[in-house]
């Protein structure tokens, strides 16, 4: 859970620093990315890949996004 929270918070910070408010943050708009898992056919190797290959959580669906003019902080 810490990795998910850190990646989502980092993504939101990046957006804010670039003047964008996501405005539709929900679990369905957070994707799990690790193309190594997608290519792995041996299920016995997945625990090793999960532990040793980074999983990245990405924000998606910017349909409700809006430019931020003033600082929120």
pTM: 0.65
pLDDT tens-digit map of 18-68: 999 998 999 999 988 776 666 677 888 877 777 777 788 888 898 888 887
Percent helix / strand / coil, the chain, rounded to 5 = 45, 15, 35
Cα 24 to its chain centre, rounded Å, is 13
> Which H or E run contains 4?
helix 2-17
pLDDT of residue 43: 82
pLDDT tens-digit map of 1-18: 688 899 999 999 999 999
CB atoms within 10 A of CB 32: 11
CA distance 54 to 32: 11
Sketch the domain layout of the chain as residue ranges: 2-61
Strand 30-33 versus strand 56-59 pairing type: antiparallel
């Amino acid at each position: 859970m810490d990795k998910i929270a850190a990646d989502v918070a980092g993504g939101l910070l990046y957006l804010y620093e670039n003047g964008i408010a996501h405005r539709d943050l929900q679990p369905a708009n957070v994707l799990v990315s690790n193309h190594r898992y997608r290519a792995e056919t041996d299920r016995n190797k997945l625990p090793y890949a999960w532990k040793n290959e980074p999983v990245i959580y990405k924000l998606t669906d910017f349909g409700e996004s809006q430019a931020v003019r003033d600082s929120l902080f």
